[in-house]
Amino acid sequence: MAQELLWIFISALLINNFTLAYFLGICPFLGVSNKLDTALRLGLANIFVMIITAVAAWALNTFVLIYAPYLRLISFIIVIASTVQFVEMAIKKWSPELFKALGIFLPLITTNCAILGLALFATNKGYGLIEGIVYALGAGGGVTLALILMAGIREETRVLDIPDVVKGTALSLIVAGILSMAFMGFAGMFSAA
Amino acid sequence: MTLSMMKTIISSSPFLRSGLSTPRIMWEVVITLVPVVGMAAWVFGISALLMTLVCVLACWMAERIFLPPAPGASVLGDGSAVITGILLALCLPPGFPFWMAFLGGFVAIALGKAMWGGLGHNVFNPALLGRAFLQAAFPGAITTWSAPATSFFALRGSNLALPFLKGESVDAMTGATPLSAMKFTHQAADWQDLLIGQVSGSLGETSGGLFLLLGLYLAWRGLINWRIPVGMIATVGLFSGILYWIDPAHYAPPQFMILAGGLMLGAVYMATDLVSSPLTHKGIWIYAVGIGILVVMIRVWGGLPEGVMYAILLMNAVTPLINRALPTRVYGHASPTS
């Protein structure tokens, strides 16, 4: 069991990285990756929301959707978004420090495709509660890893003599492509074992 | 003595120079690569020489187009594009179509160097970037290995394949590389063979012993940071040694892991890229050990037989973060760690 959980974690973290292998959550990856500090906080918010998503998706699948499977997509979106809003209010009341650290990113991230993707993938793979949470940790960690790598490179590019034609979005997209190529090295890992 | 007789020269730092200019360093590295290309030609025949020529030409052309030299500068440039071309050729299999190699060389300079603002600005190693691009674009052609040539002038089967046409000439003589043999059939080659270089593989994946000598020379000349190859090779040896100690039937022995494939080439020439490696010694150690761990992980558990290229590219991506975490001491200021 522990080995299986580790495999789920590493698979979501590196091999099937949500950002660099599945290309989910590209908008924050390109939009909020110009500073390391914000990128890290966005990543943490992502992990947080993903864990809530995993729990919510599991609860919906187990208790509600067995009676109405055709409601899956819409109920995932509504339930996840509202749960995160609710949790955000709870954090604001009980832990202002955490609220400040996660800041605006918490509501921003809820409607991201990576979040819905996580819920749908976890459902497709038939993960239980614990597996789902580990999967969310791995996937969120993978998104965070991609974000801070991207932010590190983009901070570096600020002091470089980047030609005008590639400055800005073009550079971000090319760097994202290069990172994605580098992550191809993890493809197929552990599948033979 | 009047004031006007005193000659005052106003210049900015640095005042002491080592005498080593960028072109000087680059051409010296190019010269050390001559025996490597010679070895490849010895093992793989004329294909190796032509492949090197094609890659160097592509890199040089891309450099001329995207980073035109200043008026009066050498037509050959500062030599860094030549190094990129030779290194790219050394990571390609001998039967690789030349037009693909040309494309790879062009991409290596365009996306690996020019896009970042030229020499000294690239975050990733250009040659490896070109290789990764080729691996993603032509996964079939780049993993078709030919056995060492029978005659020197025999061109490899698919060398002259035309772009976008299905080449009908399929190389009939293929030989598995030591690493793919290990991966798929669990047969480890003799380490003596790997040391001398009579094995199948990419152009630069032949003789581990030759790279050892060149690495020693480059480190002695101060052209590479010895910590990178030492850290990488020690990590690979230690990590694979532990695995081998746990289960010798399943894992390859450490001397095989060190000498097989592109590890020696990567450790001496690729990871040591002055631009894309970290700035501080402590950062260098983290970088080298990280590459070593990733190499073993990808080779042992990954879907691909070889992982040196991806390991170095991944650590190149981490390098900006390492540099941020371990900043260099600003001259005249206290050490940032104290």
- What the block records as the tokens of A78 is 């509504």
- Report pLDDT digits (tens) over A146-174: 999 999 999 888 888 888 888 888 888 99
Nearest chain A alpha carbon to B133:
A181
CA distance B270 to B55: 16
Nearest chain A alpha carbon to B111:
A174
A177 min Cα distance to partner chain B (Å): 10
What letter does residue B69 receive in the DSSP assignment? P
CA distances for A115 relative to A76, A120, B209, B308, angstroms: 10, 9, 51, 33
Please say whether the beta carbons of B94 and B144 come within 8 A.
no
Taking 70 as the pLDDT cut, the residues of chain B under it are 1-6, 14, 17-19, 146-158, 160-176, 181-193, 195-200, 335-338
CA distances for B156 relative to B151, B161, B166, B168, B171, angstroms: 11, 10, 16, 13, 7
A164 inside 8 A of chain B by CB: no
Confidence at residue B171, expressed as pLDDT on a 0 to 100 scale: 46
Assign A26 a pLDDT band (cuts: 50, 70, 90): confident
Residue B75, CA atoms < 13 Å, CB-side half-sphere: 1
- Judging contacts by C-beta atoms under 8 Å, the chain B residues touching residue A192 are 301, 303
Q: How many CB atoms lie within 10 A of CB B101?
A: 27
* Of B131, B60, B126, B36, residue with least CA distance to B93: B131
Confidence at residue B170, expressed as pLDDT on a 0 to 100 scale: 47
Confidence at residue B8, expressed as pLDDT on a 0 to 100 scale: 72
Q: How many CB atoms lie within 10 A of CB B78?
A: 21
- Report pLDDT digits (tens) over B87-121: 999 988 888 888 999 999 999 999 998 888 888 88
Confidence at residue B234, expressed as pLDDT on a 0 to 100 scale: 94
Give A50's contacts (C-beta < 8 A, 6+ positions apart). Answer: A114, A115, A118, A136, A137, A139, A140, A143
Q: How many CB atoms lie within 10 A of CB B221?
A: 13
Q: Which of B117, B302, B313 sits opposite A182 (nearest CB)?
A: B313
Per DSSP, chain B holds a count of helices (H) and strands (E) of: 13, 0
* Of B91, B93, B95, B106, residue with least CA distance to B54: B106
Q: Which of A166, A175, A185 sits opposite B310 (nearest CB)?
A: A185
Q: Is the dihedral of CA B223, A149, B139, A6 positive or negative?
A: positive
Confidence at residue A193, expressed as pLDDT on a 0 to 100 scale: 40
Nearest chain B alpha carbon to A153:
B320
CA distance B268 to A13: 30
* Of A115, A92, A90, A116, residue with least CA distance to A104: A92
Q: With a cut of 0.95, is the ipTM above it?
A: no
A163 inside 8 A of chain B by CB: yes
Percentage of chain A beyond pLDDT 90 is: 21
The pTM assigned to this predicted structure is 0.86
Give A150's contacts (C-beta < 8 A, 6+ positions apart). Answer: A29, A33, A39, A172, A175, A176, A179
- B174 forms beta bridges with B146
- What the block records as the tokens of B127 is 């040659």
Please say whether the beta carbons of A152 and A36 come within 8 A.
yes
Which residue reads 């590196």 in tokens? A14
The type of residue at A191 is S
- What the block records as the tokens of B321 is 């973060």
Please say whether the beta carbons of A47 and A18 come within 8 A.
no
